[in-house]
A and B are shown apart, each in its own frame.
Chain A
């Protein structure tokens, strides 16, 4: 079936890099996404990567995709306290219709 797995918690020091990892099951996924959720808010799209790419960089964010291992990672450079949130990895569901399958989320805590 379709499944997305993430580690549940990550703690980093302010100014360090954060790396959030995700594994997915559907090798036919065309797009893979990272969303950010702050307390009491909805999900905000951070970035996405198309399946024919290995890497995508967007300012402080770097997404790495290893299709062989079905592994996706999000690196946040120079992590700030404002980056504290829950980060969700998502893959496209099969059967079309733009359906997203989300992981359980990784809670990132940034401390001074």
Chain B
């Protein structure tokens, strides 16, 4: 089966600019996650969708970050305006369902550098 697809692979922007990342989960996976991985740290959950509804966005900096999954398939994550501390790898993951034994499958991530 095809894995989780993400684009772009790399993005360099200046602070205060905006940027958007795209994710296409594994076909049939209802649950989609966006994680932020800062260099030297483990991934941290930003937002989680079940189909097209948000189930957890408690760690999302809502003043500058937004995400949507309009048709319950693809998702976009946007940052506007970007700050230097947003430099990180943004990982998208999907799972078949919300249950505890449904493993997460990760994409290769988008590496964002804010200068």
Which A residues are closer than 8 A to B by beta carbons? Answer: 4, 30-31, 33, 35, 40-45, 48, 88, 90, 92-93, 95-100, 102-105
Neighbouring B residues of A95 by C-beta, 8 Å: 56
Neighbouring B residues of A93 by C-beta, 8 Å: 45
Q: A42-B4, A97-B48, A97-B55 are in contact. Are A102 and B42 (CB under 8 A)?
A: yes
Q: Once the chains bind, are B48 and A42 in contact (CB under 8 Å)?
A: no
Q: Once the chains bind, are A45 and B100 in contact (CB under 8 Å)?
A: no
- A interface footprint on B22-63 (CB within 8 Å = 1, 0 otherwise): 000000000100000000111111001010000110000000
Q: Jot down 13 A-B pairs with beta carbons below 8 A, ordered by A.
A: A42-B91, A42-B106, A43-B106, A88-B42, A93-B45, A98-B98, A99-B45, A100-B104, A102-B44, A103-B42, A104-B40, A105-B41, A105-B42
Which B residues are closer than 8 A to A by beta carbons? Answer: 4, 31, 40-45, 48, 50, 55-56, 91, 93, 95, 97-109
Neighbouring B residues of A35 by C-beta, 8 Å: 106
Neighbouring B residues of A30 by C-beta, 8 Å: 100
Q: Once the chains bind, are B43 and A43 in contact (CB under 8 Å)?
A: yes
Q: A40-B108, A41-B108, A42-B91 are in contact. Are A98 and B99 (CB under 8 A)?
A: yes
Query: Chain A nearest CB: distance from B101 CB in Å?
Result: 7
Neighbouring B residues of A44 by C-beta, 8 Å: 106
Neighbouring A residues of B44 by C-beta, 8 Å: 102
Neighbouring A residues of B48 by C-beta, 8 Å: 97-99
Task: Give 10 nearest A-B pairs by CB, closest first.
Answer: A102-B42, A42-B106, A43-B106, A42-B108, A98-B98, A97-B55, A104-B42, A102-B43, A45-B103, A30-B100
